Structure 1
Amino acid sequence: MTAHDLTWDLDFDLRDHPSEEFIQTLRRTHPTEREVDRMLTRKMRRRSGPSYRRPTLEEMANHLHSFLTHQLGERKFRVSDLHWFTGGVSKIQIGFTLEREAEGGGTRSDRMVVRMDPSEGSNATSRAREYELLSLVDGVVPVPKTFFLDAEGEWFPEPALVYAFVDGVTKPRTTESGRISGLGTQFGPEYRARLAPQYLEHLSRLHTMEVTGRSFRTLDVPAAGSTQAAEWMLNHALRCWEEDRGEDSPLMEVAATWLTRNLPILDVASVVHGDFRSGNFLFDQETGEIRAWLDWERGLIGDRHRDLAWITLPTMGHYDSEGCYWVCGMIPLDEFFDRYTAVSGLTVDPDRLRFYQVLGCFTIIVSTMASTYRIARLGKSHQDILLTRVEGLVPVISRQLIDLLKEKP
């Protein structure tokens, strides 16, 4: 369903203070996964609240102390080296060291990270889901060890998870590329040779994990042989568009209609990271070993083509001086799918890939043209300047979307 089919007032400023009728209409119009629905509903019900105010380190220390007292019970502990982490578009991250009594006796010390939402992020995502995904894939691909979860923001200002700090870098220290969230990082020949095989192996392990028949707290498993996976993702994007946008867009109307008419059938449900690109993994500068995959906020169980389409969009990599496009800065596009198939044993369906590339462009425009606009307008995030800057991606992504829609079946 598109904007002109809906019955509420199209005064876009009303989205600053959404009514319960508005929220419930969107829930009915764009049904999606239970946890996604819960997070989007929470976002909209809280939108009329105050703008973001960055807590002080002293305030965060108090929140953390209360939370750890609750988590650790009678065990003694000490927090030290509390500090902010820079970077990140949609989440707030704080590092610290926790010394505590070990369950078997003695003491242990761990460097940890608090990962928390601002008042409203450019992606309304679930820390509980991120925690569950990290726990699910631990041992399958390298990820930080999870420690604690405040799923509802009972102890912190917003929902938060606590996981292990991992040493590493997101890009070679010698490159000036990839400054915005790791996009377009140029690794160079030496690091490409080391990172690319690991990258393909980790992606393959995720996509070949068996999830059918398992039960999860925050993850819904779409049925194979149905369009459920695509419907959930499309409805998620459409709902965010209607919740956040500040203007009409004929291109988005056309794309929404095309997506609705071309929902693909899922063959097998896979773990999908959702943003499996440079900037979202840490590697050892000396050895080139990937130490941890981060930022699971877009993760879900669905169609592997969602990952494949996202990471092969032009904005996720770069062209070299000879015109070769490097997927996430590591693998030539003309080799990528063959190498992925060889490692994973999974096929790549061109039609499903195109659908998820269109949906990927649509989702990026939703995030940059609608969500970041609304968040910056209302002062809901610590990254309002950066969010305003990334709105400049809209013309580039729109051109990609137009080209994809023009492709012949």
Structure 2
Amino acid sequence: MTTRRLALITPVALATLLAAGASWAQSTYKIGELNSYKAQPAFLDPYKKGMELAVDEINAAGGINGRKLELITRDDNANPGDAVRVAEELISREKVDVLSGTFLSNTGMAVADFAKQKKVFFLAGEPLTDKLTWQGGNEYTFRLRPGTYMQAAMLVPEAVKLKKKRWALIYPNYEYGQSAVAAFKTLLKAAQPDVEFVAEQAPPLGKVDAGSVVQALADAKPDAIFNVLFAADLSRFVREGNTRGLFKDRPVVSVLTGEPEYLDALKDETPNGWIVTGYPWQNIQTAEHKAFLQAYQNKFKDYPRLGSVVGYAMIKSAAAGLKKAGSSDTTKMIAAFKGLQVDTPFGKITYRPEDHQSTMGAFVGKTKNDNGKGVMVDYTYFDGAKFQPTAEEVKKSRSAP
């Protein structure tokens, strides 16, 4: 609007316009979300759709205590420094009420530290490192998904049943991969003291030299393999492993591989019989999941991925916290989230007061190549509450140097 036009507005009209703007701001809660959309589209495109579905449902039902939700998203370029810059922009420029999101563990940790320094509430949806809620946990950060310790704890009993002594490990060399392998080694060694870890391959994230990695693992002659690769790294590893016979008569235990965003990419290269965590969306028969599945398919004409569930449940969690707190005040939000119960497509979850980790669980089953399409079969849902360290163990991990 030009200076001349502004001059023509009467004081009463200007006051009316300003009041309308203030009224709109007061009538909404802004959820600021940052994530690695360009770097990890297989997971995060469905994740964004899950968030949008949750916002639509909440607003259609009248919002939060009469106030609508507004979602503001930004890309963090899969870079911790950019993630902090974007988080600052969301808080300072956009004036968001809730800070949320992140995918990679290193970006999640950077934003968690930002939240601690700035004393703002942060709800992490996806980062899986245990340092987010345990060793490096802080008062301002809460997490939705089961972390690396929890998923390893779900897989270790299945690994023990294999009765294999010599294990090889393959993981991306950054916080998530390191955390997942550390948890698996600790838990497997406790359950099977004679186990040996005969090889470790830790390529940079997104830069796996699949031929060299597969050959190194094969040379170690392991009895079994624990895999933590995902996305394009996983596809390259599977393709080369199939070609070189790495998986022949050699069981693989793998985090995340049963998620449709990664099975879809494997297609007819999907290996049979890997023991995995994942999301068998086609066959979950609970009422909560059926309602979510129908709503998602009606809106997007597509099936959900695990990212869809995470995005949906994260927004539902933020809304439940805002409703309970009656405000977006940081102190009130922290108090509201401690012990907060939320209905999700996987059933009711609780955010534990002692570590701010939700009790969201995961499905454990096996991969199957079903006529050229990767699916997850023989699965069981494991309640996350049964695979978490005790309050005393959490306290000890947080006080460790």
Tell me if both proteins adopt one fold, taking TM over 0.5 as the criterion: no
Counting helix residues as a fraction of each chain, which structure ranks higher? 2
- What TM-score do the two structures reach when normalised by structure 2? 0.21
Asked which structure has the greater CA Rg, the reply is 2
Counting strand residues as a fraction of each chain, which structure ranks higher? 2
- What TM-score do the two structures reach when normalised by structure 1? 0.20
